[in-house]
Structures are given as C-alpha cells and as structure tokens.
Amino acid sequence: MNPHDTLALFDDQMRRHAQPDDAHATLHLTDGVLRQTSTRQGWNGILWSDLDHTTADTAIANQISHFAALGHDFEWKLYAHDQPTDLAQRLLAAGATQEPTETLMVATISDLPTTTPPPDGIHLHPVTDPAGVDLMMQVHQQAFDTTATHIKHRLLTQLAEAPDTVAAVVAMAGTRPVSAARLDLHPGTHFASLWSGGTVPDWRGRGIYRALVAYRTRIAAAHGYRYLQVDASDDSRPILSRLGFTALTTTTPHLFVVEGL
C-alpha cells in the first residue's frame, strides 16, 4: 500500500464524494465545504473542505449560521493536511472546542488476520435488533463513560433502513456484554470502516479487541472491499499497528455547540 496514494483515494471517496450516513441526512457542497445536515439526533458536520487563507473565515461563518438556524450542534472533522495550515486556529477562534486527536489508519484487507478467536469464556453475538444495540450501549457507557445517544440513534437507523451497510457485534462473557464494535460498509468505494470499538476496563488486555477486528475484517472481505479504515485512539493505535494498519494522517474533531455561539 502506498500511503500517499491511499490517502488521496480516501480523501476523494470518503470525504469529497462521501454519501450521507443515514436516510435522514443530506449533503451540500457550498463555499468549498461539504457538509452533512441531519436530524438533531444524527451527525451534523463538515466532511471535507478546499479552503485557503482568503476563503476560510467566511466559509466557517456560513457553516455556523447554517447550523445555528437549525438549532443543531455540529462537528468540523479536520484532518492534519487540510488547508489553510492555520484552519484549526481559525475554527477555535470562531468558537469551536477541540476534541482529542485520532490517527487515521488504513490496512489492505487481504493483509489482515481474519481467524483470530476470542479468548476463553467469550462468545461473539451479532447485533441485529434494538436489544443488541442496548447491549452495545451498555459497553459504551462502561468503556468510554458516555451515553453516546447519537451512536445509538445512528445504529438503530442503519439496522432499520439500511442493514446491508452495517455489521455490529457484542462480545459476551456469559450474560454480560464486555466489548462491542461496528463495521460500516460504504457502497461505491474501496473502504469499509471500523467504529465504536471498546472494552470494559476489567476485560481489557485479553485479546477481545483483536478478535473483533478479525470478525469485521471477514465481513468486509466477503463484501469485496479492499481497505479497512479506522480513526484510532492512542489506546488502539499500537494494537492496530501490530495487526498491519498504517497511519496516514491525524484527524481532530472541532465541535460547535449552538448555545455557545
């Protein structure tokens, strides 16, 4: 895999020509910015931009006005190579709050392990209905100390309206959910993506995360995808590197809360 070429392909397919992530969302290209507008519960934000020092501030102000008129908080998903080079500072000056930086990592699916079993005492339970989503949210609460209602909303919507674009799984220790993860499939692209992978504290370090990556890799391979992409936290980056993922760049969410603008 050539990292430069793969990043260019990612920018083109997954950002510049992205598709809405649920049936209630729309995409609009304006002022050199591609934004998604969804419901209040869905994801609202900026996926891609082509700006310079003469156009950035006006574009930022216009996006703030758009989402403020709807009463929607939104995220500007900023990548390290986005222009202008001081775009992060401009977003912060306009009222954004910076979230922790993650690493965009990509692997060629054919290079990844697909048969990694879960540790003893763990069985993997596919998520196909609201009860399974509730199990995932229990894991998310314990793993990340957040309710993540937007993730629950998105997954329920996907399962109900576009089940062929998502696969989710919960790792169960008996009747207790201890880890969970999601795979998004992106028709018309070479990429499938890994999301929401987390393990409760007392089950970390036992190989569950690796088993969930292999589980999702098998599904992506069966659907003919070439690459797996993940926005990796500092905790998951070393594991993914050992599995064969390559770091391409970093991404830092910048959040705008309408009430604070």
pLDDT at 260 over 70: no
Residue 27's contacts (CB-CB under 8 Å, 6 or more residues apart) are: 18, 19, 20, 34, 35, 36, 37, 47
| Residue recorded with tokens 């209905």 | 129
189-237 residue pLDDT tens: 999 999 988 999 999 999 999 999 999 999 999 999 999 999 999 988 9
Distance CA 5, CA 11 (A): 10
Q: How confident is the model at residue 240 (pLDDT cuts 50, 70, 90)?
A: very high
HSE-up (13 A, CA, CB side) for residue 2: 4
Residue 123 has a CB neighbour count (10 Å cut-off) of: 10
Residue 259's pLDDT is: 77
Q: Is the predicted pLDDT of residue 175 greater than 80, yes or no?
A: yes
For residue 179, pLDDT beyond 70: yes
Residue range 162-183: mean pLDDT, rounded? 96
Query: Contact, 94 vs 260, CB < 8 A?
Result: no
In the structure, what pLDDT confidence band is assigned to residue 242 with cuts at 50, 70 and 90? very high
Q: Which of these ranges, 57-71, 99-113, 151-165, has the smallest mean pLDDT?
A: 151-165
112 pLDDT tier (thresholds 50, 70, 90)? very high
With 70 as the cut, is the pLDDT of residue 151 above it? yes
pLDDT band of residue 250 (cuts 50, 70, 90) is very high
Q: Is 121 helix (H, G, I), strand (E, B) or coil?
A: coil
By residue count, the chain amounts to 261
Has residue 146 got a pLDDT over 90? no
Q: How far apart are CA 42 and CA 93, in angstroms?
A: 26
Are 194 and 229 spatial neighbours (Cβ–Cβ below 8 Å)? yes
Question: Going by DSSP bridges, is the β-strand pair 191-199/45-49 parallel, antiparallel, or unpaired?
Answer: unpaired
Contact 133, 152 (CB under 8 A): yes
Contact predicate 216/116, CB 8 Å: no
230-235, long-range: CB < 8 A, 24+ apart: 230/104, 230/105, 230/106, 230/193, 230/194, 230/195, 230/197, 231/102, 231/103, 231/104, 231/105, 231/195, 232/102, 232/103, 232/104, 232/105, 233/100, 233/102, 234/100
Encode pLDDT of 27-73 as tens digits: 999 989 999 999 888 899 999 999 999 999 999 999 999 999 999 99
